[in-house]
Amino acid sequence: MADEGNVISDLNLDGAGGPAPNGEDTGPAAGIISQYVKDLSVENPNAPQSYQWQDAPQLDVQFNIQSTPVDSEIHEVELKITMAAKSEAGTAYMIELAYCGLLGMRGLAPEQMHAFTYGEAPRILFPFARRILADAVRDAGYPPVLLEPIDFNGLYLQQLAQAQQTADAEPAGHA
């Protein structure tokens, strides 16, 4: 029979090698607290006729990322995706998804918070939103659409570079 002993005596309770007790952690930290569907709309305006259409629909996908502060350390990031499948015969389906995550950020510099909010958080949220969209398309009666992975960090860095170029191109001395 194995010696079960006192399990608590085997734990390191002095805080070394683990989180500090009672909120004494002071290092920078960022992470997703929770994720949820804030809004989901599926429109199938031409069913059942659209199931018989022979021409392949054109898929239009639009993304928008917004952030709203909840308090000083928590932000809600909303990944809004609008997807529409249209053909010459009309619109097969339109889906709008607002998928959100609550971010906790503590001890980060403002530029790090901005990068995590608009680059890293959407990267973490996207696979879950992609599955919801695929299920919604399938549930509307069409073959599921799996969107390609998106490099949100790369897009974020690209937008920063464009913003910097625009700022550098502004003539100085405006009064």
For residues 87 and 54, is the Cβ–Cβ distance under 8 A?
no
Q: Cβ distance 122 to 152 under 8 Å? A: yes
44-79: per-residue pLDDT in tens? Answer: 999 999 999 998 899 999 999 999 999 989 999 999
Least confident of 112-121, 134-143, 158-167: 158-167
- Determine the 3-state secondary structure of 69 from DSSP: strand
User: pLDDT > 70: what percent of the chain?
Assistant: 82
CATH code given to domain 28-144: 3.10.420.10
| Cα distance between residue 131 and residue 24, in whole Å | 38
CA distance linking residue 110 with residue 115, whole number of Å: 9
Q: What's the whole-model pTM score?
A: 0.77
